[in-house]
């Protein structure tokens, strides 16, 4: 990458007979000369640039709503500043604590229980002798990832319904049928389980790819020394996965405040609100149902600031742990 | 056994058998939920309430599908979805590639600035309400374009494409440049043909995203004639709003839906009808997706 710079320029300007070190920043053409020279290239970026500005940066300006009292007539710009009013309300809002705890509880459960599953699955897949069978299992396991939560929620309503197969199994073992999705004690476990069910296969791809990149010589050497398959998995495969695991873990920790809006929004109902309502669903109802634009924006802003802090801390921790496998 | 060089490599052990069984269970757990819905969708209304694991329909009854056939909103939403996927994907891929290509050039002026501009959007955004107000101000409410424009270009896709373009040797473009070709010409004649793998991956990624998306419909589109399939499915499956569907059944003289066993059957039909198209294309697109995950693994 780095040496592409001199090469490119040296070919283009060879007639100038400049010395090799002429590409030091000091002797570079002025920025406007370069803009003029590469205007064709810059022009290609215009549509994307406009899209980024309008649909990513203009809404960022809208965040000022979090410090204003929004009035539809006056618009975002004309509405009056109210300082930290909405953030004070966040602190005083007793329901805020409920949704925050729910969010952390659900995403921590998903992290702790769900994170090792794709790794374990990739390790097990790697042990399958028949390539055909392995491909079959892989292909099937990716499938749920391609189905929208809307449809999956519909399916799970049926699976966990009073007449569904889960209750059939419960009754087979002498239990009483339950309305799983309307009971607070079973709703969160179902969220965690179905989330893992949807994502474990897809999440394993990145580990499978890393396993494929491991030098086979390592395994041969270990086998000659008499290492068992379990030992090979534990002492060769797993350590080779540490970089990927670190990056994935960093990303997941960064997403802790995101408990899975699509899933919860489609699966929750009034009777499990106490345990299932999370920040994102709360923001949605605050904004789109109650039309409390300013407050909803403030909650959303707080959410994304904490999310950025989390990912920064996680990345810092990964660095501090002494490995180079960090996000930036 | 005498001939095997690799002792641990060839013998089928108890572990292998257990592994095969575990994987078989995983396959069943993954497939059964979908399978059960297909079965329910063709079962008679008496059978849909039968408790237990359904393995095979004890009776075949297509009345649910007949109601589906008469439900215009669904077919209209299929058309809307196809249109959305085609337009959204082609626009996205084009705009993203046009943006990512210059970004892959180290001599691009303001390169660092543009890169940061994109990078920031991956971690920070306006959020729900500012976005909603923006769409309102842009007059995009109830417009088809509200499904296309906001997600037109994303940081992740830009970086995946940029990384791929960076791997294309400069020498190819240089000779074209000496011949006086413009950047636009080079982009379409040299870069695009060489980048099919990454373009296919991003296209499928964006395409499946459009196929699955419903939230923009909920937020910005009130007119049910403009809804995509997932939004219609959501109305029926989640909100249990059979509104115009009930009408379709009345026309067929099939009684009301809500709370009846008909409802279970219809829901299964809707689920099957929304899963099937994906099931058909899935085997063909799956490998590109896997490739994409690996492309994304390259550190930007």
Q: What is the pLDDT of residue A32?
A: 87
What are the tens digits of pLDDT across the range B265-283?
Answer: 888 999 999 999 998 888 8
Closest residue to A49, CB basis, from B99, B270, B290: B99
* Residues 6 or more apart whose Cβ sits within 8 Å of residue A156: A181, A190, A194, A267, B33
CA A16, A17, A19, A21 dihedral sign is: positive
φ, ψ for residue A69 (rounded to 5)?
-100, 100
* Residues 6 or more apart whose Cβ sits within 8 Å of residue A92: none
What are the tens digits of pLDDT across the range B91-117?
Answer: 999 999 999 999 999 999 999 999 999
pLDDT band at A323 (very low <50, low <70, confident <90, very high): low
Helices (H) and strands (E) in chain B, counts: 15, 0
For chain B, give the mean pLDDT: 86
* Residues 6 or more apart whose Cβ sits within 8 Å of residue B139: none
Nearest 10 degrees: Cα torsion A262, A268, A269, A271: -160
**Could you tell me if B201 and B288 are in contact, meaning their C-beta atoms sit under 8 angstroms apart?**
yes
Q: What is the pLDDT of residue A236?
A: 92
pLDDT band at A14 (very low <50, low <70, confident <90, very high): very low
The answer to whether residue B265 is domain-embedded is: yes
Q: Domain check: are B33 and B75 in the same one?
A: no
**Cross-chain Cβ contact A8/B106 below 8 Å:** yes
The answer to whether residue B89 is domain-embedded is: yes
- Which of B4-13, B147-156, B233-242, B291-300 has the highest mean predicted lDDT (pLDDT)? B147-156
The answer to whether residue B1 is domain-embedded is: no
Domain definitions of chain A by residue range = 21-83, 87-320
- B147 at interface of A, judged by CB pairs closer than 8 A: no
The answer to whether residue B35 is domain-embedded is: yes
**Could you tell me if B77 and B179 are in contact, meaning their C-beta atoms sit under 8 angstroms apart?**
no
- Could you give the residue ranges of the DSSP H alpha helices within chain A? 4-12, 31-37, 39-44, 46-52, 58-62, 75-78, 85-92, 94-114, 116-127, 131-142, 149-159, 165-172, 184-212, 216-224, 229-232, 238-254, 261-267, 273-276, 279-284, 293-320
Residue B253 has pLDDT above 60, yes or no: no
**Cross-chain Cβ contact B130/A163 below 8 Å:** no
**Cross-chain Cβ contact B282/A133 below 8 Å:** no
Residue of chain A with shortest Cα separation from B51: A163
**Cross-chain Cβ contact A223/B101 below 8 Å:** no
- Per-residue DSSP letter, A129: S
Identify which of B248, B211, B251 has the alpha carbon closest to the alpha carbon of residue B233. B211
Identify which of B167, B184, B164, B186 has the alpha carbon closest to the alpha carbon of residue B175. B186
**Cross-chain Cβ contact A158/B110 below 8 Å:** no
The answer to whether residue B179 is domain-embedded is: yes
Q: What is the mean pLDDT of residues B7-30?
A: 85
**Cross-chain Cβ contact A52/B7 below 8 Å:** no
Identify which of B256, B267, B275 has the alpha carbon closest to the alpha carbon of residue A163. B267
- B16 at interface of A, judged by CB pairs closer than 8 A: yes
**Could you tell me if B194 and B168 are in contact, meaning their C-beta atoms sit under 8 angstroms apart?**
yes
The answer to whether residue B161 is domain-embedded is: yes
Distances, alpha carbon A62 to alpha carbons A280, B108, B130, B203, in Å: 18, 31, 5, 31
Identify which of A269, A272, A280 has the alpha carbon closest to the alpha carbon of residue A306. A280
What are the tens digits of pLDDT across the range A254-294?
Answer: 889 999 999 999 999 999 999 999 999 999 999 999 999 99
**Cross-chain Cβ contact B124/A304 below 8 Å:** yes
Q: What is the mean pLDDT of residues B116-125?
A: 92
CATH value at residue B194: 1.10.3720.10
Q: Which residue has the higher pLDDT, A40 or A6?
A: A40
Q: The whole model's pTM is what? A: 0.87
- B96 at interface of A, judged by CB pairs closer than 8 A: yes
Identify which of B283, A307, B117 has the alpha carbon closest to the alpha carbon of residue A299. A307
Q: Domain check: are B39 and B86 in the same one?
A: no
**Cross-chain Cβ contact B36/A165 below 8 Å:** yes
Set of chain B residues whose Cβ sits within 8 Å of the Cβ of A65: 129-130, 133
Closest residue to B109, CB basis, from A31, A57, A150: A31
Cβ atoms < 10 Å from Cβ of A132: 8
Q: Domain check: are B112 and B152 in the same one?
A: yes
Q: Domain check: are B144 and B13 in the same one?
A: no
Distance between alpha carbon A146 and the CA centroid of its chain, in Å? 16
* Residues 6 or more apart whose Cβ sits within 8 Å of residue B254: B63, B66, B67, B262
Instruction: Report the domain count for chain B.
Output: 2
Q: Domain check: are B130 and B251 in the same one?
A: yes
Q: Domain check: are B33 and B72 in the same one?
A: no
Task: Give the residue from B63, B79, B96 where a domain finishes.
Answer: B63
The answer to whether residue B2 is domain-embedded is: no
Residue A117 has pLDDT above 90, yes or no: yes
Q: Domain check: are B111 and B216 in the same one?
A: yes
Q: Domain check: are B210 and B254 in the same one?
A: yes
**Could you tell me if B300 and B159 are in contact, meaning their C-beta atoms sit under 8 angstroms apart?**
yes
The answer to whether residue B30 is domain-embedded is: yes
Distances, alpha carbon B235 to alpha carbons B56, B64, B141, in Å: 28, 17, 19
What residue has token string 């000659």?
A: A224
Q: Domain check: are B98 and B244 in the same one?
A: yes
CA–CA dist B192, B203 (Å, integer):
13
Cα of A15 to nearest chain B Cα, Å: 13
- Per-residue DSSP letter, A161: S
Q: Domain check: are B95 and B195 in the same one?
A: yes
**Cross-chain Cβ contact A139/B133 below 8 Å:** no
pLDDT band at A13 (very low <50, low <70, confident <90, very high): very low
What's the domain range around B37? Answer: 7-63
CA–CA dist A189, A165 (Å, integer):
17
Residue A8 has pLDDT above 70, yes or no: no
* Partner A, chain B 221-250, Cβ-Cβ below 8 Å: 230, 233-234, 237-238
- B4 at interface of A, judged by CB pairs closer than 8 A: no
CATH fit for domain A87-320, picks 3.40.50.970, 1.10.3720.10, 3.90.1150.10, 1.10.357.10? 1.10.3720.10
Nearest 10 degrees: Cα torsion A223, A229, A230, A236: 50
* Residues 6 or more apart whose Cβ sits within 8 Å of residue B95: A47, A48, A51, B152, B153
What are the tens digits of pLDDT across the range A192-243?
Answer: 999 999 999 999 988 998 898 899 999 999 989 988 888 999 999 999 999 8
pLDDT band at B178 (very low <50, low <70, confident <90, very high): confident
């Amino acid at each position: 990458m780095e040496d592409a710079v001199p090469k490119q320029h040296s070919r283009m300007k060879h007639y100038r007979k400049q010395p090799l070190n002429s590409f030091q920043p000091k002797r570079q053409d002025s920025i406007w000369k370069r803009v003029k020279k590469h205007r064709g290239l810059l022009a290609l970026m215009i549509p994307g640039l406009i899209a980024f500005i309008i649909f990513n940066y203009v809404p960022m300006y809208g965040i000022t709503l979090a410090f204003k009292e929004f009035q539809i007539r006056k618009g975002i710009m004309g509405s009056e500043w109210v300082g930290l009013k909405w953030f004070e309300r966040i602190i005083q809002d007793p329901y805020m604590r409920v949704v925050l705890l729910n969010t952390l509880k659900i995403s921590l459960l998903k992290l702790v229980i769900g994170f090792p599953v794709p790794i374990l699955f990739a390790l097990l897949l790697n042990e399958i002798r028949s390539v055909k069978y392995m491909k079959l299992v892989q292909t099937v396991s990716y499938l749920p990832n391609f189905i929208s939560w809307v449809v999956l929620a519909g399916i799970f309503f049926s699976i966990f319904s009073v007449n569904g197969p889960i209750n059939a199994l419960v009754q087979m073992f002498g239990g009483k049928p339950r309305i799983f999705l309307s009971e607070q004690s079973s709703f969160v476990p179902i969220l965690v389980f179905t989330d893992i069910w949807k994502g474990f296969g897809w999440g394993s791809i990145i580990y499978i790819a890393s396993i494929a990149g491991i030098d086979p010589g390592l395994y041969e050497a270990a086998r000659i020394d008499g290492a068992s398959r379990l030992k090979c998995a534990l002492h060769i495969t797993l350590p080779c996965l540490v970089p990927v695991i670190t990056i994935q873990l960093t990303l997941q920790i960064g997403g802790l405040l995101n408990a899975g809006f699509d899933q919860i929004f489609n699966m929750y109902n009034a009777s499990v609100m106490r345990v299932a309502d999370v920040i994102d669903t709360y923001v949605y109802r605050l904004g789109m149902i109650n039309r409390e634009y300013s407050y909803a924006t403030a909650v959303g802003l707080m959410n994304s600031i904490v999310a950025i802090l989390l990912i920064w801390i996680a990345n810092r921790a990964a660095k501090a742990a002494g490995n180079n496998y960090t996000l930036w | 056994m005498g001939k095997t060089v690799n002792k641990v490599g060839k013998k089928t052990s108890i572990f292998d058998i257990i592994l095969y069984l575990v994987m078989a269970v995983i396959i069943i757990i993954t497939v059964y939920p979908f399978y059960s819905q297909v079965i329910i969708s063709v079962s008679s209304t008496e059978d849909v309430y039968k408790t237990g694991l359904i393995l095979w329909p004890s009776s075949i009854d297509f009345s649910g599908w007949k109601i589906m056939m008469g439900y215009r909103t669904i077919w209209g939403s299929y058309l809307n979805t196809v249109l959305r996927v085609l337009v959204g994907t082609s626009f996205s891929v084009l705009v993203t590639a046009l943006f990512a290509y210059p970004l892959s050039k180290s001599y691009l002026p303001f390169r660092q600035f543009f890169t940061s501009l994109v990078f920031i959007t991956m971690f920070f955004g306006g959020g729900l309400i500012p976005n909603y107000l923006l769409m309102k101000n842009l007059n995009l409410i109830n417009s088809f374009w509200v499904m296309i424009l906001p997600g037109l270009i994303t940081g992740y896709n830009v970086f995946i494409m940029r990384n791929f373009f960076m791997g294309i040797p400069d020498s190819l473009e240089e000779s074209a440049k000496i011949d006086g070709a413009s950047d636009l010409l080079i982009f379409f004649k040299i870069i695009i043909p060489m980048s099919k793998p990454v373009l296919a991956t991003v296209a499928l990624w964006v395409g499946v995203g459009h196929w699955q998306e419903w939230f923009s419909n909920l937020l910005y589109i009130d007119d049910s004639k403009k809804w995509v399939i997932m939004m219609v499915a959501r109305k029926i499956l989640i909100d249990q709003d059979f509104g115009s569907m009930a009408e379709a059944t009345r026309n067929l003289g099939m009684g009301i839906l809500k709370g009846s066993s008909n409802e279970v059957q219809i829901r299964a039909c809707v689920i099957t009808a929304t899963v099937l198209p994906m099931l058909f294309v899935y085997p063909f697109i799956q490998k590109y997706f896997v490739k994409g995950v690996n492309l994304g693994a390259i550190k930007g």
